[in-house]
A and B are shown apart, each in its own frame.
Chain A
């Protein structure tokens, strides 16, 4: 029996060791290194000097940091709730279809989700091309004339938000479809017997029962969109990036273009804390669900 106990311990160690090594080296260590760097005046690579809270003081006074935080918040506002509403509408539409037709239509809505961001970038760059883009018709209708939306401040964030909803919505659509499938059909039959209209069925049956999934989608999207970088970086490159700066982009700029390792770590820590706070909230939501 004792021998068994020893082999069990040894196996456990062998099984867990690679994971622990990678985790220690590439997760725990960089996290602590990041925190340490926030107290240093340091280049990206190389020795730093102790700077106390100077980086923090700088961050709270930095006008570009303000822009980055506000733009990130604006982007979250433009994507999270609108995107979830769009996803729910699409899921409701797809659910009514059957068999092959359903798979086909779902694929049309879901396919953007599996594409790399640079592919999405090339596709939309072509769609919004100033001279030949297919979207210039609708854009001109709103703006009064064809507009290069990626070089026009008022258009940039809404444009990036629409593109992001188009790109990442597949995830929420699938969650809503799974949620819809879990609603017992008898509830609809009962509602139908009572002469409920389509709208009443949605507001009295579907939506209340989907509420937990809706909260889940909202929090997942919120955490995802706080980390916005790729799309904004790709569309802003070559132009004026300051006005459309977002948080991860500012980390990138400070670290890799300005060589301010310490300061970039401070911005990274700010993002880290913000995302962690929202994630704790999400964890609570999930826990409440699993207890139920």
Chain B
């Protein structure tokens, strides 16, 4: 028996080496559009259509400086930051509170609320865009940060995840804390949430990325160029540049930078958030 269990993995295995090489080639091809966009954004205008080397021969920041100075990109950045942070904070606060109440407290309508949340999880919010537009126009919030934020607060998944997380915590904690005279708010913010900041971090990152990237609603809600988010803005101005791909790509790189960095720094949290949203325990 013991001879057999000696693992054969160390043996020379041409199949394994071939698979690894194929993996590297596939990863290179997959990443290439991003890489090629990056490289082109560092080239001079005339070079973008003459120089096709993989590494820019004369790297320049000209496109970036031009884009920052001659477009509304800095304002769009500010708009995106305000709306994305706003959505993230509000969604997490509302979801944690609601999830906590449904999980830990007894109140009439609790079951009905839970079923409504589960049901709304199945409904496509993109079918409601026309009515969102009517409602937000009605309260005169088109072309405002709040108007961009409001319809994005419909996030049943985070409530569901919080509720399930609170359900999984041991009952004794709560009973002991209640004996000591802690209020429900202290329970939620001092005991329950701190027990696993990881979940909150993961949900915050994925909510932020989603808000930063959302296109359809901010696109409808902003006609005024000064109120656009980066995601909407960079597609709105492309005609103004003509075929200056270097500048377009510099704007695209800047628009994608915060979310890319959020992913690269918090790779494991993003993975956690995605497996949580899909209902798999990773």
Do A12 and B107 touch across chains, with their CB atoms under 8 A apart? yes
Given A15-B97, A117-B231, check contact A268 B127 (CB 8 Å): yes
What are the residues of chain A within 8 A of B260 when measuring CB–CB?
111, 114-115
Do B23 and A116 touch across chains, with their CB atoms under 8 A apart? no
B271 in contact (CB, < 8 A): yes
What are the residues of chain B within 8 A of A3 when measuring CB–CB?
none
What are the residues of chain A within 8 A of B267 when measuring CB–CB?
103, 106-107
Question: A277 — nearest CB in chain B belongs to which residue?
Answer: B122
Do A34 and B127 touch across chains, with their CB atoms under 8 A apart? yes
Stretch from B55-63, B194-202, B274-282 forming part of the interface with A: B274-282
Q: Which 9 A-B pairs have the closest CB atoms?
A: A279-B122, A30-B131, A12-B107, A122-B252, A15-B97, A108-B31, A116-B231, A272-B127, A93-B23
Do A26 and B98 touch across chains, with their CB atoms under 8 A apart? no
B49 in contact (CB, < 8 A): yes
Q: How far is the CB of A272 from chain B (nearest CB, A)?
A: 4
What are the residues of chain A within 8 A of B220 when measuring CB–CB?
252, 256
What are the residues of chain B within 8 A of A230 when measuring CB–CB?
215-216
B134 in contact (CB, < 8 A): yes
A53 in contact (CB, < 8 A): no
Do B122 and A227 touch across chains, with their CB atoms under 8 A apart? no
What are the residues of chain A within 8 A of B249 when measuring CB–CB?
122-123, 126
A207 in contact (CB, < 8 A): no
Interface centre among B52, B102, B215 (most CB of A within 10 A): B215
What are the residues of chain A within 8 A of B238 when measuring CB–CB?
122
A220 in contact (CB, < 8 A): yes
B53 in contact (CB, < 8 A): no
Sample 11 A-B pairs with CB under 8 A, ordered by A number. A11-B105, A15-B188, A26-B132, A117-B215, A118-B231, A123-B36, A126-B36, A132-B48, A227-B126, A251-B127, A268-B127
A203 in contact (CB, < 8 A): no
Cβ proximity bits B239-260 to A, threshold 8 Å, 1 near / 0 not: 0000001001101110110011
What are the residues of chain B within 8 A of A175 when measuring CB–CB?
274-275, 278, 280
Do A132 and B49 touch across chains, with their CB atoms under 8 A apart? yes
A179 in contact (CB, < 8 A): yes
Do B279 and A290 touch across chains, with their CB atoms under 8 A apart? yes
In the complex, chain B residues 3-55 whose Cβ is within 8 Å of any chain A Cβ:
4-5, 8, 15-16, 19-20, 22-24, 26-28, 30-34, 36-37, 40, 48-49, 52
CA distance A34 to B260 in the complex (A): 37
Q: Which residues of B contact A (CB under 8 A)?
A: 4-5, 8, 15-16, 19-20, 22-24, 26-28, 30-34, 36-37, 40, 48-49, 52, 93-95, 97-98, 100-102, 105-107, 110, 113, 116, 118, 120-135, 137, 150-151, 153-154, 159, 183-185, 188, 209, 212-213, 215-216, 220, 230-232, 234-235, 238, 245, 248-249, 251-253, 255-256, 259-260, 262-264, 267, 270-271, 274-275, 278-280, 282
What are the residues of chain B within 8 A of A30 when measuring CB–CB?
128, 131-132, 134-135
What are the residues of chain B within 8 A of A44 when measuring CB–CB?
130, 133-134
Which of A37, A119, A171 is within 8 Å of B234, CB to CB? Answer: A119
Do A16 and B101 touch across chains, with their CB atoms under 8 A apart? yes
Q: How far is the CB of A136 from chain B (nearest CB, A)?
A: 12
Do B130 and A26 touch across chains, with their CB atoms under 8 A apart? no
Do A8 and B105 touch across chains, with their CB atoms under 8 A apart? yes
Interface centre among B183, B216, B256 (most CB of A within 10 A): B256
In the complex, chain A residues 5-45 whose Cβ is within 8 Å of any chain B Cβ:
7-9, 11-13, 15-16, 18-20, 22-23, 25-27, 29-31, 33-34, 37, 44-45
Q: How far is the CB of A130 from chain B (nearest CB, A)?
A: 11
Q: How far is the CB of B236 from chain A (nearest CB, A)?
A: 9
Question: B254 — nearest CB in chain A belongs to which residue?
Answer: A119
A269 in contact (CB, < 8 A): yes
Further contacts, 13 of them, CB under 8 A, given A15-B100, A26-B154: A9-B107, A11-B185, A16-B98, A19-B159, A23-B154, A27-B123, A90-B30, A105-B23, A108-B31, A116-B215, A119-B252, A123-B252, A127-B36
Do A114 and B130 touch across chains, with their CB atoms under 8 A apart? no
Do A229 and B126 touch across chains, with their CB atoms under 8 A apart? yes
Do B128 and A116 touch across chains, with their CB atoms under 8 A apart? no
Do B124 and A171 touch across chains, with their CB atoms under 8 A apart? no
Question: B98 — nearest CB in chain A belongs to which residue?
Answer: A19
Which of B20, B37, B101, B124 is within 8 Å of A97, CB to CB? Answer: B20
